Amino acid sequence: MELFERGQLFKAVLAVIVLYPLIPIKYLPYLGIALGGYFLAYLFKNRDVFDKIRRSRRQTKLAYGLSTFLFVVLQMVSLIYSESPRDTLSGILLYFSAFIVFFVLKYEINRPNHAVPLTRAYFLSAFLVGFYHVGQVVYDEIVRGIPFDPLTNTSFMENGPVLAYFMLLALFPALTLYIFKEKNKESRFYLFVVGVSLISIFMTGSRIAIVGVFLGLLLLSLLYSVRFLIALVPAGIFFALIPLFTKRHWSYFLLSNEMGRFSFYLEVLKANAKSIFLGRGFHTIDYTLSRFMVGRPELLNLDQVNKPYNAVLQVVLELGLLGLFFGAVILYFKMRGIHNYTKSYKAQPQLKVLYVGVFVSMAVLLYVGLMDSYLMSGKIVYAVAILMGILHGDAKWKGIQKV
């Protein structure tokens, strides 16, 4: 058996998709870089593959290619003027490793018989994360007989909000596939993914993610099936009761009793006004806000310190208004690509349904990004890169344009 052939590369990619959420965040870049090293050896062994990729790049020029390139260049340039070069370098390595996975999925692991196993592997990885979290709940509440602590039990994620948002990304595609598929073993698997996702989201106590569940169900009912309106009833009740459970009524969306979100955003922007055009360096938000918090006792009771609680604000602080512009352009073309895919008659019905769910999840994550700042977390970036790689690879094989 040849070590460097497409079948072995396909198995390696499947392993990466299943394992990436289970690996500690500090080791995550090594996973994508290891896949990149294997892919380079694969290209060296199969010279014709590299020529095909180059021809494909020339034939299917992407509309967002220039903005993506400039965004990457801006990240690299930020390393020069970064106030914390070590943090910037680690961020670049993390995003670069995620891009490697996207690149391999799009340009080489993109055959029609690859799409379904790849999507199953993605949902398997999400299921493992959620199942382990449910196991933590059962173990604490039943076996140990102690109250479940959402701050310390966060499955394989860094904290509760990241876990909630990670499961949000998998929830809606799994839900659409469950509704679409006939009731068989595969359909039940998607139902299990939906179940562990919902339990995990609710048990984290993340009020932003719970509102995201409600909004996602509403959007699904408009885009896909009115049957989702039934699910809005219990979701709406839970949405109304969450402020009571958290003992936060009128301050439900405030950061703390002492400071609201917009006041916090304004104070942060004032303190960093001189660097608002180019930012202070990619992936330096912890460094920037740790200095901002000094001498501000009204912020010391925040659950998560050194976070801007807004993904847009995070991009502005790290890469400035220029980085925000390029990021918005890239995001626009990604969302448009998903929309074009779901409208194409060439796409498989199952995958079209899948990407209706992906579109909803991405829209919900955009809302989450306006209320919190974990959207750019490494494992969420990996998850988005994997889903986009599968989408673009499948579309590329079928000749779906402008994706």
Candidate from 103-112, 168-177, 342-351, 378-387 with smallest mean pLDDT: 342-351
- Range with the largest mean pLDDT of 99-108, 126-135, 195-204, 359-368: 126-135
**Average pLDDT score over residue span 37-49:** 87
Q: Count Cα atoms within 13 angstroms, Cβ side, for 159.
A: 11
| 203 CB neighbour count, 10 Å cutoff | 21
The per-residue pLDDT for range 290-347, each reduced to its tens digit, is 788 777 666 655 544 567 788 889 999 998 998 888 888 888 877 777 777 777 766 6
Give the least confident one: 107-111, 248-252, 344-348.
Answer: 248-252
Q: How far apart are CA 304 and CA 206, in angstroms?
A: 12
Task: Tell me 27's DSSP state.
Answer: G
The residue that leads in pLDDT, 258 or 348, is 348
Q: Which of the residue ranges 59-68, 99-108, 254-263, 326-335 would you say has the lowest mean pLDDT? A: 59-68
Are 79 and 318 spatial neighbours (Cβ–Cβ below 8 Å)? no
Q: Is the pLDDT of residue 126 over 70?
A: yes
- Name 272's Cβ contacts closer than 8 Å, sequence gap at least 6: 280, 288, 292, 317
> Mean pLDDT across the stretch 221-249?
58
**Number of Cβ within a 10 Å radius of residue 69:** 11
- Residue 259, pLDDT > 50, answer yes
Q: What is the DSSP letter of 2?
A: -
pLDDT (0 to 100) of residue 249: 43
User: Given pLDDT bands bounded at 50, 70 and 90, which one contains residue 100?
Assistant: very high
Q: Which residues does 243 contact at the CB level (< 8 Å), separation at least 6?
A: 207, 249, 252
What is the model's pLDDT at position 354? 82
Give CA–CA dist 277/134, Å, rounded.
44
Place of tokens 């660097």: 275
The CA radius of gyration of the chain, in Å to the nearest whole number, is: 21
47-51, 172-176, 220-224: least confidently modelled range: 220-224
The two structure tokens encoding residue 257: 């009793």
Token pair 């917009």 is found at 262
Count Cα neighbours of 12 within 13 Å in the Cβ-side half-sphere.
23
Q: What is the mean pLDDT of residues 135-148?
A: 83
- Tell me how far apart the alpha carbons of residues 181 and 193 are, in angstroms, rounded to a whole number: 14
Higher pLDDT, 209 or 373: 209
Indicate the pTM of the whole model.
0.87
* Average pLDDT over the chain, rounded to an integer: 80
* Side chain identity at residue 292, one-letter code: F
The larger pLDDT score, comparing residue 87 to residue 339, is at 87
CB 269 within 8 A of CB 276: yes
- Nearest residue to 229 via CA among 213, 214, 218: 218
CA-nearest of 324, 329, 319, 312 to 368 is 312
Q: Which pLDDT score is estimated for 63?
A: 47
Rounded to 10 degrees, what is the CA torsion of 100, 103, 109, 113?
120
DSSP conformation letters of 134-199: HHHHHIIIIIS-S---TTT--TTSSSHHHHHHHHHHHHHHHHHHHHHS-SSHHHHHHHHHHHHHHH
Highest mean pLDDT among 289-298, 328-337, 373-382, 386-395: 373-382
pLDDT confidence of 192, banded at 50, 70, 90?
Answer: very high
Judged against a pLDDT cut of 70, whether residue 102 lies above it is answered with yes
